[in-house]
Structure 1
Amino acid sequence: MAIKVAVTGFGGRMGRALAQALGQSDAAELSAAIVRPESSLVGADAGEVAGLGRSGLPIVGDLAQADFDVLIDFTAPVATLANTAFCAARGKPIVIGTTGFDPAQKAEVLAHAQSIPLCLASNFSTGVNLCFKLLETAARVLGEDADIEIVEAHHRHKVDAPSGTAISMGEVVAGTLGRDLSEVAVYGREGQTGARSRDTIGFATVRGGDVVGDHTVMFLADGERVEIGHKASSRLSFARGAVRAALWLAGEGLAGREPGHYDMRDVLGL
């Protein structure tokens, strides 16, 4: 029996990519497509909107109308807070790819992990999560003797900066080196900034065109540098990872995981 997966934010780019990824899965199926109540897509055929042909599944404007085993949410912080509370009240697992939470919002989301299995990740790409692991090694070997800079690029429509993935990369590096990212991060430079402190981790952000997502972490030492990077050419890489996480949360025979906060590295066994 296929796992029934609901997708919020279905009218967006990731919503359509998730529909495609679910269509390619033998173990999961799209059981509900949700948009904002005021959206013109309410009532439209989900398959046609996703470019997959007629499916017979109408898009709905209320999560309460959805039948699902696991919810995948790539929306916005306020919407994700409401959707997570909905899942917690009904004992449903949730996969969250939303970024841009402030600390209080993130804490509110994670509080629900006491009652349901919750997978929250800044990036669901297998390659990016492998990069996280590689960054731990690079930071241990090079971190104390190198300046560390993180550069990310995304499409013109992305609303938060730096990206959640870039921040996660910084957290991995800082944590490995025993630093607090909130104290050492430098988010852009301008004017007479003075000499660079070795302990800082710099971030640079590029926005434009249709870039799906590029991330590079540079370890710059005297005489050499090491770069660990990832370039996404399709949102399907994120969507397939999110579907993999949904299946992992649901577990065999819908037995499911224990309540708790998981991330994509848990899903991949990293």
Structure 2
Amino acid sequence: MNSMKIAIAGASGRMGRMLIEAVHNADDATLAGALDVAGTSGIGTDAAAFLGKPAGVPIESDLAKGLANAEFLIDFTRPEGTLTHLEYCAAHGIKMIIGTTGFDEAGKAAIAAAAQKTAIVFAPNMSVGVNVTMKLLEMAAKSFSHGYDIEIIEAHHRHKVDAPSGTAIKMGEVIADALGRDLKDVAVYAREGVTGERDPSSIGFATIRGGDIVGDHTVLFAGIGERIEITHKSASRVTYAHGSLRAARFLQDRKTGLYDMQDVLGLR
């Protein structure tokens, strides 16, 4: 099988560097491009220089230059940047692995439309462990559909700009779907003052931000006389990078279509 030619968006950032290192260490992948925002200090430098093993791939702000040799783009940036990349990739048949979070409904619709022109894996969390956890939550929600209050608690580093996390929201969607509910109707994102008794159909969210927490997620099913907690904790972003490469492998034989990590892992 030919080596996958992969470009990385946000190449100067922490996640970008983790992705570059994962591509560098993979036997079946080659770093074919690197993107970052114009004005970023890394523009023009070798994307793999930080590894002490230059790849001969400069970090570019121009999409045509940065993606000229790429078959795949892995993007963990911001919604506005990802949507710009999406338009270019759809027009040029470049497959995308999107781990960016914080999209509004219009952004999600744009991704779905682009998937008619190129193949995309779109997931708020690329970790294999997190996505197995999603399957466990679906199973648990069906068993705890009556008499259990559901709360989702997530913690991330101080630099994360969206809340709740995309992973927490996805967990809520998985649980709500399993219960035949719409998360938009039952989600409670904040509590303060006299709130009244808890609506038993609601799904609550609590957000913690601090330090260098990579990502912790706990779903609490609280019943009378017992409570069940399903928790996933990330110690390193490397799990997201490895999951992204697994997603790229999944897309190799696909030309179009919108997929998520449940598809990649065969958990449907």
Please give the TM-score of this superposition, normalised by the length of structure 1: 0.95
Aligned to 1:253: none
Amino acid at match of 2:62: D
> What do the CA deviations read for 1:176-205 (whole angstroms, capped 9, x no partner)?
000110010000211000110110000000
Cα distance in 1 between the residues matched to 2:131 and 2:114: 24
Cα distance in 1 between the residues matched to 2:142 and 2:258: 26
Residue identity over aligned pairs, in percent, reads: 54
1:163 to 158, 165, 187: 165
Q: Name the count of aligned residue pairs.
A: 264
Aligned to 2:47: 46
Amino acid at match of 1:264: M
Structure 1 unpaired stretches of 5+: 251-255
1:267 matches 2:268:
no
Superposition CA RMSD, Å: 1.0
Poorly superposed stretches of 4+, deviation over 6 Å = none
1:125-204 superposed matches below 5 A: 125-204=127-206
How much has 1:39 moved relative to structure 2? Answer: 1.6
Aligned to 2:249: 247
Please give the TM-score of this superposition, normalised by the length of structure 2: 0.96
Q: Is the 8 A contact 1:28 1:247 kept in 2?
A: no
Aligned to 1:21: 22
> What do the CA deviations read for 1:136-178 (whole angstroms, capped 9, x no partner)?
1100111222000000000000000000000000000000000
> What do the CA deviations read for 1:207-258 (whole angstroms, capped 9, x no partner)?
00000000000000000011111000000000110111112112xxxxx214
Q: Is the 8 A contact 2:12 2:47 kept in 1?
A: no
Cα distance in 1 between the residues matched to 2:113 and 2:138: 27
Give the secondary structure class of the aligned counterpart of 1:114: coil
Q: Is the 8 A contact 2:31 2:55 kept in 1?
A: no
Give the secondary structure class of the aligned counterpart of 1:266: helix
How much has 1:54 moved relative to structure 2? Answer: 2.6
> What do the CA deviations read for 1:35-67 (whole angstroms, capped 9, x no partner)?
112222111111123x34333322112121021
Amino acid at match of 2:64: A
How much has 1:117 moved relative to structure 2? Answer: 0.8
Give the secondary structure class of the aligned counterpart of 1:98: coil
